[in-house]
Structure 1
Amino acid sequence: MNFRRLAVLIGVNFVDMIGFMIVLPLLPFYALKLNASPEVVGQMIASYSIAQLVAAPLWGRVSDRYGRRPALLIGLSASAIAYVVFGLADTLWLLYLS
């Protein structure tokens, strides 16, 4: 594999994980501020993993069909939108959506 391609993939993964690792520690405090129970907070955290489990094979097919670059760009764009929704969320369903 070309070093430049590998560096791009590592960079994309780094940016994606930084965004997630910023959100994850804040989620319980944010949800509790919106009067969520601890069980709901646990469900929110688990819903991310469940969504990844369901979406990964489907997103892999999209990537195979349309190419890696469009899939990465769409995925990063969707993550950025989700982080904005998280930052602006004032209800629990928006936190679930983000």
Structure 2
Amino acid sequence: MILTTDDSDSLERLGRRLRLARLRRNLTQADVADRAGVTRKTYQALEAGRPTAGIGLLVKVLAILGYPGRIASLLETDPIGEDLDDIHGRKRAGRTPDVADF
């Protein structure tokens, strides 16, 4: 996977925020990894902002840190998408029954 500099910066920022949240809760990397059911090395990849860490692990870690619904709320509002919808109309999402209609 090739990431832009902005993408890499965002992942690193997310990793730093996860580390800070973990430290505020007085948890070690091993504690979080154990609760998440992964190795410490795998959890370290998430905190390091490596793109190899999966979204499932992120969801699990957020729940461990006390934010179980945080990922789902990321696109709760979508002003860019709503503007595009107003301009162009929805083209493909209406044909797919499992796509949420925000």
Structure with a larger share of its residues in helix = 1
Q: Give the alignment's TM-score, normalised by structure 2.
A: 0.33
Greater RCO, CA 8 A, separation 6+: 1
